[in-house]
Chain A
């Protein structure tokens, strides 16, 4: 099981267009939908907002990890987006958010996938990991960082 199983260069957007929280979530969901990995993007969007209502996934340190568990998801997938200017995501530390990981998993997921996502979440805590994501020049760089850190 490798990182490549749920992310590839077409799921990485180096410069997000949106400037508002809900728009970012929508934009990331559209990326996943364009890759034909979800069956109902409205449903996924609704679930993502439900999750945000329970408590923001803007975990601070410039990172947000909106996530959805839904039967509308075909396979566990991560979409990555970056905003150069930062977005007000209602983050826990009330600072702008730059790095976004949208995580979508089917209702029934293998432990293997979930463990990999858990590993990714753990990495996000490390300063140098986040810094290298900020400095990456291309989707290939991002993929490389995710794989090799």
Chain B
């Protein structure tokens, strides 16, 4: 006995929805080995709703709809997506098509079936935890797609440091290759993927192109992951809106997905990014750099506090870059203390989050807890980006937490008078003689920030409900 789940929907929701449903049920009755459950999304609302169990037990999914039907819940299943009329017209061949398709894609499904019960339970749990409503859901979709890029990229960079902190500067070496994979490629894809899949979550497939293009622009304009989030939401909602307002005559409808939507949405998002996001980002960066220059002579501890908070604010965005460039610039004038504060403050966000996922498991999704393990490695390597997935998923709580921790670390590092002569490398530069001064207190400053970050996260993040 094969099981099929289907959902039907039409614009008015008065007639076609139900005729399609009935046709599918009738056709399944005539075929003796098929069981079907059909959900109708009509004017009365959703009836005979498919449960998670229904979907997980199904061999294939049929969507017969002329409206947008939520696709996420069918992920991993073989889906036949047709117009509602096709189901009324010939439901039987539709069912056959679904079963045939499912059969051909069987390998994927078997893998799932073999996974043991424990995996299934925890998978289910993490799915529930990550299931959020509206904008949160879109953000989480983007973050979960971005995460592998952050982990792969961050760990590749960390590996390149193993060959010596400047090894990657030698072209043709393995270290350079690792840096090219991690920093040059995986990290370059990070923000486009985030933006692209936020948009995908909102507008389905047509959202990907404008989202990724907007995200890439966010990168090249230096607006970091926060710019990427803006690009993703902009691209998603814009595409969704365009889908609804543009009405083309039937003969031209084929042009919608291949020409009209991608072009209009990408152009609009791109122009908005360049003209609306670009200038303020640049202004923020030059403004902050000037401001920091003016701060040079003032109280060292306050400077450390500010630099620390800036490092954690947008991790790769304009504020972070302004602080980092300021520190690197001072190296040339033989002033090494701010660089020490900056690196320490850049290490605490991933480390603090890693510690928090270890101690406060109820406040993080399963996916975040796993990502926490990689965050340890990225933290000690001064790859602040390791904290981005956490910050992107819950910016209003995570960013203040990591800023506090980083600010404390920055201030302490300045107070202890630690200095650093290399602009990167994390823990790998510490054992090298004469690069770091006051090593013991420097490590203490980092540890303090890590613990404070974790405590802040404990206070700000609510427990997730199972």
Binding site for B on A (CB under 8 A): 51, 54-57, 59-60, 65, 67, 69, 92-93, 103, 105, 109, 111, 114-115, 117-119, 121-126
Contact A67/B89 with A118-B44, A124-B19, A125-B22 known, Cβ cut-off 8 Å? no
Question: Given A67-B15, A122-B19, do A114 and B43 touch, yes or no (CB 8 Å)?
Answer: yes
B400 at the interface (CB under 8 A from A): no
The distance in angstroms between the C-alpha atoms of A118 and B20, with both chains bound, is: 11
- Cβ contact within 8 Å between A118 and B88: no
Q: How far is the CA of A121 from the CA of B18 in the complex (A)?
A: 6
Given contacts A55-B66, A57-B15, A109-B43, contact A121 B22 (CB under 8 A): yes
Which residues from chain B contact A105 at a C-beta distance below 8 Å? 14
* Given contact pairs A115-B44, A124-B19, A67 touches B88 in the complex (Cβ within 8 A): no
Closest to B27 in A: A125
Most B C-beta atoms less than 10 A away, residue of A51, A60, A103, A109: A60
Scan residues 41-75 of chain B and give those whose CB is less than 8 A from a CB of chain A: 42-45, 66
Name the residue among B15, B17, B19, B40 with the largest chain A CB count within 10 angstroms. B15
| Chain A residues within 8 Å of B26, by CB | 125-126
Decide if B89 touches A121 in the complex (CB within 8 Å): no
The answer on a CB contact under 8 Å between B12 and A118 is no
Q: Which residues of B contact A54 (CB under 8 A)?
A: 11, 66
By a CB distance below 8 angstroms, the chain A residues around B88 are: 59-60, 92, 125
Minimum Cβ distance to chain A for residue B92 (Å) = 12
Complex CA distance for A115 and B66, rounded to whole angstroms:
20
Q: How far is the CB of A1 from chain B (nearest CB, A)?
A: 13
Given A59-B85, A60-B88, A93-B89, A121-B66 contact (CB < 8 Å): no
Q: Which of B258-302 contact A (CB under 8 A)?
A: none
Contact B18 A122 (CB under 8 A): yes
Q: How far is the CA of A66 from the CA of B210 in the complex (A)?
A: 38
Q: Do B44 and A59 touch across chains, with their CB atoms under 8 A apart? A: no
Residue of chain B at shortest CB distance from A65: B15
Flag if B14 contacts A121 (CB, 8 Å).
yes
* Other-chain contact of B12, A51, A56, A123 (Cβ < 8 Å): A51
The interface bits of chain B over 154-184 (1 if a CB of A lies within 8 angstroms of the residue's CB, else 0) are: 0000000000000000000000000000000
> Inside 8 A of B412's CB, which chain A residues have their CB?
none
Task: Tell me, rounded to whole Å, the shortest Cβ–Cβ distance linking A90 to chain B.
Answer: 11
For the complex, is B23 an interface residue (Cβ under 8 Å from A)?
yes
Measured between beta carbons, the chain A residues less than 8 angstroms from B37 are none
CB of B331, distance to nearest CB on chain A (Å): 65
**A122 to B21, Cβ gap below 8 A?**
yes
Residue of B nearest to A59 (CB): B88
Complex CA gap A69/B89 in Å reads 24
A81, chain B: closest CB distance, angstroms: 16
Chain A residues whose CB sits within 8 angstroms of the CB of B21 once the complex forms: 122
Contact status of A103 and B43, CB under 8 A, knowing A59-B85, A60-B89, A92-B88: no
Of B12, B42, B66, B85, the contact of A92 (CB 8 Å cutoff): B85
The complex places the Cα of A27 from the Cα of B26 at a distance, in Å, of 32
Whether A125 pairs with B14 at a CB distance below 8 angstroms is no
Query: Closest A-chain residue to B85, C-beta based?
Result: A92
Check if A67 sits within 8 Å of B12, measured CB to CB.
Answer: yes
Q: Is the CB of B44 within 8 A of A121?
A: no
Q: A59-B16, A59-B89, A121-B22 are in contact. List 18 more A-B contacts (CB 8 A).
A: A55-B11, A55-B66, A55-B85, A59-B15, A60-B88, A67-B15, A69-B43, A92-B85, A111-B45, A114-B43, A115-B44, A118-B14, A118-B17, A118-B40, A121-B15, A121-B18, A124-B19, A126-B22
Specify which chain B residues have a CB less than 8 angstroms from the CB of A123 in the assembled complex.
Answer: 22
Q: Which of B1-44 contact A (CB under 8 A)?
A: 11-12, 14-19, 21-23, 26, 40, 42-44
B380 vs chain A, min Cβ distance (A): 59
Q: Give min CB distance, B172 to chain A, whole Å.
A: 61
Specify which of B11, B19, B44 is in contact with A114 (CB 8 Å cutoff): B44
- The residue in B11, B17, B21, B43 that gathers the most chain A C-beta atoms within 10 A of its C-beta is B43
Residues of B near A67 (CB, < 8 A) are 12, 14-15
- Residues of chain B with a CB closer than 8 A to A122's CB: 18-19, 21-22
CA distance A65 to B22 in the complex (A): 15
Question: Can you name 21 A-B pairs with beta carbons within 8 Å?
Answer: A55-B83, A59-B15, A59-B16, A59-B19, A59-B85, A65-B15, A69-B43, A93-B89, A103-B15, A114-B14, A114-B44, A118-B40, A118-B42, A118-B44, A121-B14, A121-B15, A122-B19, A125-B19, A125-B23, A126-B22, A126-B26
Assembled-state Cα–Cα distance A54/B43 (Å) = 17
Of residues A69, A114, A121, which shows the largest number of chain B Cβ atoms within 10 Å of its Cβ? A121
Q: Residue of A at shortest CB range from B45?
A: A111
| Chain A residues in 8 Å Cβ range of B16 | 57, 59, 65, 121
Which residues of chain B are within 8 angstroms of A111 by Cβ–Cβ distance? 44-45
Shortest CB-to-CB span from B379 to chain A, Å, is 55
Q: Given B14, B66, B85, which contacts A117 in the complex, CB threshold below 8 Å?
A: B14
B93 to chain A minimum Cβ distance, whole angstroms, is 13
Complex Cα distance, B381 from A133, in Å, reads 78
Alpha-carbon distance between A101 and B386 when the two chains are bound, in angstroms = 62
Task: Tell me the smallest distance from the CB of B81 to a CB of chain A, in Å.
Answer: 16
Least Cβ–Cβ distance between B430 and chain A, in angstroms: 67
Min CB–CB distance A56 → chain B (angstroms) = 8
A59–B16 Cα distance when bound, in Å, is 8
CB-nearest residue of chain A to B83: A55
Task: Give the chain B neighbours of A109 by CB distance below 8 A.
Answer: 43
Alpha-carbon distance A54/B42, docked complex (angstroms): 17
Of all chain B residues, the one with the shortest Cβ separation from A118 is B18
B83 CB, min distance to chain A CBs, angstroms: 8
A125 to B26, CA, bound (A): 8
